[in-house]
Amino acid sequence: MPYEAISVFDIFKIGIGPSSSHTLGPWQAARRFVRTLQEKGQLQAVRSIRVLLYGSLAKTGKGHGTDVAVQLGLCGEDPVHFPVDQVASRIRSIADMKKILAQGLHEVDFDPREDIEFLLTETLPFHPNALSFLVSLDNGTAIAETYYSVGGGFVIKEGEEARPAGEAQLPFPINSADDLLHGCIKTGMSIADIVLENENTWRSEEDTLKAALNIWRVMKECIYRGCHSPGTLPGGLNVKRRAAELNKKLLAGKEYHDYDSWLASIRAGGNDFKYTLDWVSCFALAVNEENASFGRVVTAPTNGAAGVIPAVMQYYIAFCDGNREEKILHFLLAAGEIGSIFKKGATLSAAMGGCQAEIGVSSAMAAAGLTECRGGSQKQVMMAAEIAMEHHLGLTCDPIAGLVQVPCIERNTMGAIKAITASQLALQSTPDFAKVSLDAVIKTMWDTALDMNHKYKETADGGLAVHVPLSLPEC
């Protein structure tokens, strides 16, 4: 049977906020487009570039920074390494000069106000997150390519397969939770070990560990930075950042000078339930406040849900003595595979499935990772993921003003808490008696996505987005 080979590091991507589908995806699409022009020897002949944004990218693109991402992508910049403190100045420079340096090599006349069009009433049939690049060359030739940002930073060019079947021959082909469980039963291996065997197809175990630790490094730096950055979020809603104030309140004057001493100070406060709960919320708030500020985050599996997994991992490290390299690796391997299965069986795109596809999936991933690291059986790991998603079914995406702020930031705290609860329930349960399987809840999530009214799929046309009065400045 054909299967889609997805690495854990396809699910966990380093980038810049606020959205994986509306920022990172369009950025990568633009990058890919100009790279193709260069490879075909056409870049130096480009005379003009226009970008058309459709569907959800048009409706919430301003709030998500889609226009910003496209311009940086056309410049050939890499979202993994581009300095976040230079985003605003680069965009101002393009607007002032009305020129863009395509692929960093060829200067083209480009006015973002004229050459990026938000087609608010047009949607392409394949996916709501669509964008087209229209180029004219010096010889009069026109080039047009359309890309779809399908969630979690994944991008598909029109006319190509999402991923060619069999492009990587994995020892354990996995499309479903049942496939994963079959591999575990057949070999007696844990979920993390099964996934590690598959990752060996792409790189050595040593390199996989290094890559996992690098993902965690970016996550924990984001948590620490967010816990020490007061102020107001950009975009016009004037949402006050809360993580820094909460961090200060919880530490009550304790002194520290870096992440490690900060972690020690947190641990010194004990394991009181309220104290722990406050910290989990603080960790999640910190990440998504950074995300909303165009900070560097890890797509897990999306940017809008980027705080759930780091918050649960930080909880495990701070309060469950999980600060060991192998535990960090196992957490990310188990969580990443669950995210991959959701992508294959449903969607990671809020524009297709509502917020259940973002916070719901991230909560399921975090529950699985935590259960794996706390010694749960293979079935308990899957049960934890199922419980977490079951209680996010139907969650809509209705971002106020199209910004990844309200209700998105607080939803990360709820997703993290639900993940921890789901893990606890699974560890205290016998999965053989469970009535709902992980595959069943994934199928239900997809059916729910198909039934959901389009206005609750990242359009800002329904729910909180239309019931909360705003007085925003004109864009």
Q: Which residues contact 317 (CB under 8 A, 6 or more apart)?
A: 263, 323, 328
Query: Residue 165: pLDDT band by 50, 70, 90 thresholds?
Result: very low
Two tokens, residue 161: 């397969």
Does position 145 have pLDDT exceeding 70, yes or no? yes
Q: What is the pLDDT of residues 408-431, one digit of tens each?
A: 999 999 999 999 999 999 999 999
DSSP string, 91-123: HHHHHHHTEEEETTTEEEE--HHHHEEEETT--
Cβ burial of 151 (10 Å; 0-12, 13-18, 19+) is buried
Half-sphere exposure (CA, 13 Å, Cβ side) for 391? Answer: 19
Distance CA 171, CA 191 (A): 14
> What is the model's pLDDT at position 297?
98
> What is the model's pLDDT at position 424?
98
Radius of gyration of the chain (CA): 22
Q: Which residues contact 242 (CB under 8 A, 6 or more apart)?
A: 285, 289
Helix axes 325-345, 177-187, angle to 10 degrees: 140
Distance CA 205, CA 200 (A): 6
Closest of 316, 311, 361 to residue 336, by C-alpha = 361
Does position 393 have pLDDT exceeding 50, yes or no? yes
* Residue 402 phi, psi dihedral angles, 5° rounding: 70, 15
Q: Give mean pLDDT, residues 299-327.
A: 96
Q: Tokens 């701070």 sit at which residue?
A: 318
> What is the model's pLDDT at position 472?
54
Residues 416, 294, 349, 62: is their CA dihedral positive or negative? positive
> What is the model's pLDDT at position 471?
57
Half-sphere exposure (CA, 13 Å, Cβ side) for 299? Answer: 30
Q: Where are the beta strands (DSSP E) in 265-385?
A: 296-299
Question: What is the share, in percent, of the chain residues with pLDDT greater than 90?
Answer: 95
> What is the model's pLDDT at position 1?
55
Average model confidence (pLDDT) across the chain: 95
Q: What is the pLDDT of residues 19-62, one digit of tens each?
A: 999 999 999 999 999 999 999 999 999 999 999 999 999 999 99
Residues 212, 217, 220, 221: is their CA dihedral positive or negative? negative
Question: Which one-letter DSSP state was computed for residue 474?
Answer: P
Q: Residue 251's Cα: distance from chain center in Å?
A: 29
DSSP string, 269-297: T---HHHHHHHHHHHHHHHHHHHHTT-EE
Decide which of 159 and 66 is more confident. 66
Q: What is the pLDDT of residues 100-138, one digit of tens each?
A: 999 999 999 999 999 999 999 999 999 999 999 999 999
Question: Which one-letter DSSP state was computed for residue 15?
Answer: E
Q: Which residues contact 286 (CB under 8 A, 6 or more apart)?
A: 222, 223, 224, 225, 226, 227, 243, 244, 247, 307
Helix axes 259-267, 308-319, angle to 10 degrees: 60
The answer to whether the CB of 84 falls within 8 A of the CB of 294 is yes
Q: What is the pLDDT of residues 456-475, one digit of tens each?
A: 999 999 999 999 987 554 43
Domains with residue ranges and CATH for the chain: 20-157 (3.30.1330.90), 177-467 (no CATH)
Q: What is the pLDDT of residues 189-246, one digit of tens each?
A: 999 999 999 999 999 999 999 999 999 999 999 999 999 999 999 999 999 999 999 9
Distance CA 271, CA 269 (A): 7
Query: Residue 397: pLDDT band by 50, 70, 90 thresholds?
Result: very high
Q: Tokens 């639900």 sit at which residue?
A: 418
Which amino acid would we find at residue 159? G
Query: Residue 168: pLDDT band by 50, 70, 90 thresholds?
Result: confident
Q: Residue 301's Cα: distance from chain center in Å?
A: 4
Q: Tokens 């999306």 sit at which residue?
A: 302
Q: Tokens 């993994």 sit at which residue?
A: 80
